[in-house]
């Protein structure tokens, strides 16, 4: 406890002297309200189509696969194709209206991660199918949380992550995603809130892009619209 008191004491003493205003030449500007950031960040269109186009561009740049499908059956067909092509035997998912609608009758062994499970079992899964909280057009990100998307590890441990999203989940930007979190969870946030932007990547060797450094090598996003 004493270090806490010491550190806070030193902070309070230090702050008795006033610092010059931020910026290079002493311009004064009060800290802007968080809502005002949008005007400086990369622009996002107004309509659903604008956002969808922007998300698709970002996903392509990030080397994620992004497909818009008309209904859950079509999403299920996309997943079935992947299962057949890769001959997946074991996959992970969790219970949610969207995942339940697309994960039936695939002939694979399912691990459900919304109940306590063995890490070793999840490690054996070739792919995972999860819901998401939102898609973010501005950045091409998928927002997942530990409460609504099958826990912490399901979106990072298996080598292929498939995300299913509904039309109204496509949000313009990060600010809108945080707004959603606040509205949805009030003060009872999940322990993990993660923006996934493309498959796992590294450039640590000669700045050459390699996918699947530690997390999924592939990210497939299916938007049902």
Partner 1 sequence: MSEYSQQFKASATRLTADLDHRQWISKALRGYETKRDEFKGRFQSWEEARQAAAAVKYEVINHLDRYLAEFVAKLEARGAVVHWASDAREAREHILRIARENQARFIIKSKSMTSEEIHLNDALQKAGFEVFESDLGEYIVQLRDEPPYHIVFPAMHLKRGEISQVFQQKLGAEPVTDPEALTMIARRIMRQKFCQADMGISGVNFGVAETGMISITENEGNARLTTSLPRIHVALMGIEKLVRSMDDLALFLPMLATAGAGQNLTGYNTLYGGPRLKGESDGPTQFHLVLLDNGRTRILADAEQRDLLHCIRCGACLNVCPIFRNIGGHSYGTTYQGPIGSVITPHLRGLQDWKHLSFSSSLCGACSQACPVRIDLAHHLLHNRRNAIREKPPALEKLAFRFFSLMMRHPGLYRFGMFMGKLLQPLHPIVKGSALDPAKAWTKTRETPKFAQTSFRDWWKNRPQNRPT
Got the DSSP string for 61-127? HHT-EEEEESSHHHHHHHHHHHHHHHT--EEEE---HHHHHHSSS--SEEEETTS---HHHHHT-SE
Q: Determine which residue in the list 46, 104, 120, 183 makes contact with partner 1, applying CB under 8 A.
A: 120
Output the six-digit token pair for 224.
């049902």
Q: Determine which residue in the list 75, 98, 134, 196 makes contact with partner 1, applying CB under 8 A.
A: 196
Provide the mask over 54-73, with x wherever binding to partner 1 is found by CB under 8 A and - wherever it is not.
----x--x------------
Closest approach, Cβ 23 to partner 1, in A, equals 6
Q: Is 40 in the site for partner 1 (CB under 8 A)?
A: yes
Report which secondary-structure segment, H or E, holds 93: strand 90-93
Closest approach, Cβ 146 to partner 1, in A, equals 5
Separation of alpha carbons 192 and 151, rounded Å: 8
Output the six-digit token pair for 161.
């992550």
The smaller minimum CB distance to partner 1, of residues 72 and 199, is found at 199
Q: Is 214 in the site for partner 1 (CB under 8 A)?
A: yes
Closest approach, Cβ 8 to partner 1, in A, equals 6
Cβ–Cβ under 8 Å, residues 143 and 195: yes
Output the six-digit token pair for 126.
């070739």
The interface region with partner 1, picked from 13-21, 66-74, 125-133, 162-170 by CB under 8 A, is: 13-21
How many CB atoms neighbour CB 17 within 10 A?
6
HSE-up of residue 112 (Cα within 13 Å, Cβ side)? 8
Q: Which residues, 131 to 160, sit near partner 1 by CB under 8 A?
A: 138-141, 146-147, 150-153, 155-157
Q: Is 195 in the site for partner 1 (CB under 8 A)?
A: yes
Q: Is 123 in the site for partner 1 (CB under 8 A)?
A: yes
Q: Which residues, 78 to 117, sit near partner 1 by CB under 8 A?
A: 113-117
């Amino acid at each position: 406890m004493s270090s806490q008191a010491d550190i806070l004491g030193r902070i309070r003493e230090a702050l008795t002297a006033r610092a010059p205003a931020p910026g290079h030449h002493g311009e004064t500007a009060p800290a802007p309200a968080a809502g005002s950031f949008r005007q400086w960040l990369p622009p996002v269109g107004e309509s659903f189509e604008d956002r969808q186009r922007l998300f698709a561009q970002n996903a392509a740049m990030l080397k994620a696969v992004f497909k818009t499908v008309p209904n859950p059956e079509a999403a299920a067909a996309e997943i079935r194709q992947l299962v057949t092509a890769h001959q997946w035997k074991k996959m992970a998912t969790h219970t949610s209206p969207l995942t339940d609608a697309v994960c039936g009758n695939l002939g694979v062994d399912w691990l459900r991660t919304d109940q306590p499970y063995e890490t070793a079992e999840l490690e054996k899964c070739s792919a995972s199918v999860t819901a998401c909280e939102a898609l973010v057009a501005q950045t091409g990100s998928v927002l997942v949380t530990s409460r609504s998307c099958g826990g912490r590890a399901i979106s990072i441990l298996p080598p292929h992550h498939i995300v299913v999203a509904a039309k109204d989940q496509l949000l313009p930007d990060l600010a809108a995603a945080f707004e959603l979190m606040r509205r949805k969870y009030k003060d009872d946030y999940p322990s993990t809130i993660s923006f996934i932007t493309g498959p796992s990547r590294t450039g640590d060797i000669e700045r050459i892009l390699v996918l699947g450094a530690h997390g999924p090598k592939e990210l497939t996003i299916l938007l049902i619209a």
